[in-house]
Structure 1
Amino acid sequence: MNDTIDVVETRPHDELDRLDEFAEAIAAIRVRATSADGLVTVTVDCRGTLVELVLSKTISCLTPTEFEEVVVDTCEKAARTASAQHAELIAIFNQQSIG
């Protein structure tokens, strides 16, 4: 009987701890990507939100349109990777919940 009570008492705490660890892992996702020409480097968070933008000193050689394209393309590349990492963590969490 005491074993049952112990399980009932500890299981919710264990689940909350697991949820906290999951939330921390998601929040810790940071993806850095650099354009093929090395002119732009971006860092995005777990949602694909830009958190850092680093431009090469030679970025001024681009036209405004080229600049826009390279920044957007690099951000999209990083965001796709962040999304994949996010999805992988969710899949692991769900698998552990089932198992």
Structure 2
Amino acid sequence: MSAEMDALVASATQKLEALEAALFGLKQVRGQFTSEDGSVGVEVDSDGALVGLSLAESVTTLSPAEVGQLIVWACRRAAEDAGTQRSKVVATLNESFVPAGQEPGGTNGGGPDSA
């Protein structure tokens, strides 16, 4: 029974470490986007909140509405980047919870008629 308990503790420890790594990874996510002409650059956190904004002097030739649209567009692109990074962190976490010998998203033995 001691071997079973050791295996259970090892499994729980591994899952806890995977959760901690995922939490750390999510805190590190930063989505970034800079327009092709370099006039607008943004950085967002893992929630998509704006944490950095840079504007080139060239934006002074645009109307405030155009600059606002550029910033919103760049934020959306940076948030998409952050979302992709977040998905990778969660996928890694999910893989750590798949039992040995079972493929992610697969079934665990048995056919359609098995009980």
TM-score bracket, normalised by the shorter chain, equals 0.7 to 0.9
More deviation, 35-44/10-19? 10-19
Runs of 4+ in 1 over 6 A off after TM superposition: none
* Distance in 2 separating the partners of 1:43 and 1:22: 21
Distance in 1 between the 2:8 and 2:94 partners?
Answer: 21
Pairwise CA distance, 1:79: 0.4
Q: Note the residue ranges of structure 2 that are not aligned, 5 or more in a row.
A: 100-115
Matched, 1:34 2:73: no
**Matches of 1:95 and 1:12, distance apart in 2:** 15
1:44 is aligned to 2:44: yes
In structure 1, list runs of 5 or more residues that go unmatched: none
Whether the 8 Å contact between 2:44 and 2:79 is mirrored in structure 1 is: yes
Residues 39-60 of structure 1 deviation map (CA, whole Å, 9 limit, x = unaligned): 1110111111111111112221
Q: What amino acid is the match of 1:31? A: G
Name the aligned partner's letter for residue 4 of structure 1.
Answer: E
Q: Which segment is superposed worse, 54-63 or 69-78?
A: 54-63
How far residue 98 of structure 1 moved from its aligned partner, in angstroms, is: 1.6
- Comparing 17-26 with 51-60, greater Cα deviation is found at 51-60
RMSD of aligned C-alpha atoms? 1.4
User: TM-score normalized by structure 2?
Assistant: 0.77
Compute the displacement of 1:93 (Å): 1.7
Give the structure with higher Rg (CA): 2
CA distance in 1, matches of 2:13, 2:82: 29
TM alignment of 1:14-93, pairs within 5 A = 14-93=14-93
What is the TM-score normalised by the length of structure 1? 0.88
Match of 1:98 in 2: 98
Matched, 1:2 2:8: no
Q: Distance in 2 between matches of 1:97 and 1:9?
A: 15
Query: Whose helix fraction is larger, Structure 1's or Structure 2's?
Result: 1
- The AA in structure 1 aligned to 2:64 is P
Q: Percent identity?
A: 29
